[in-house]
Amino acid sequence: MGGKELVELTNKVYKQTLLFPKKEPLRYKIRETADEILKNVVEWESLNKKDLLFEIEKNLQIIKAFFNVVKWQNWVSYFDILRIELEYDKVRDYYKEQAIEKKPAFAKATAGRKKKVVKKPLNLRKKKILDILKQREKVQVGDIKEIMGRVSKRTIRRDFDDLLKQNLVERLGQSNSTYYVLTNTRTEV
């Protein structure tokens, strides 16, 4: 959702509010809120995104509440207001998605220089783990243990730790609900 689409959406709001009674305070409140949302989106690139996301979310809730009042007044078509609400929902979803930073689970905060990751050649066991991960979307240590048989869970965990350090897999979850996925194929769980 770019700035151009939001300007068009704000313009639709202005056109709809023209149909409200002239002295109706809601006419101006809705316009102010639409302007505020537009302003927030324009500021998106330069400010802290999480704080701005809160502002966008707050203003979207306000404008939706105003639209609920408008629906009861019958000043404009119910479906026109519904279409505008749906477009604002798309705005909210888009900026929520943009604000989510993808970080590996259990990432350690390091001060100073980053350590170089030395890529060691993978042994047969680690290659087999990666092959299993390619076949399935996510696996647990117990799944690998069932397939490999005589290898201990502790050894499999060490292999996963090495694969994590080499940034080949990601760890999702904690304790008994820990899953591993390939880093380049991860989807939201």
pLDDT digits (tens, 9 = 90+) for 49-60: 666 777 778 888
Higher pLDDT pick, 123 / 121: 123
Gap between the Cα atoms of 15 and 97, Å rounded: 29
Judged against a pLDDT cut of 50, whether residue 40 lies above it is answered with yes
Query: Residue 10 carries which DSSP code?
Result: H
pLDDT digits (tens, 9 = 90+) for 142-166: 888 888 888 898 999 999 999 888 8
To the nearest whole percent, how much of the chain has pLDDT over 70?
A: 80
pLDDT digits (tens, 9 = 90+) for 86-99: 888 888 888 777 76
Judged against a pLDDT cut of 70, whether residue 67 lies above it is answered with yes
- CATH classification (class only), 124-185: mainly alpha
State the alpha helices, DSSP H only, in the chain: 3-17, 25-43, 49-73, 78-99, 124-135, 141-148, 153-165
Which part of the chain is CATH 1.20.1440.60?
Answer: 3-99
Rounded to the nearest 10°, the torsion over CA 138, 141, 145, 148 is 60
Which part of the chain is CATH 1.10.10.10?
Answer: 124-185
Residue-wise over 64-83: b if at least 16 C-beta within 10 A, else e?
A: bebbeebeeeebbeeeebee
Amino acid type, 63: I
Considering the domain 3-99, what is its CATH architecture?
Up-down Bundle (1.20)
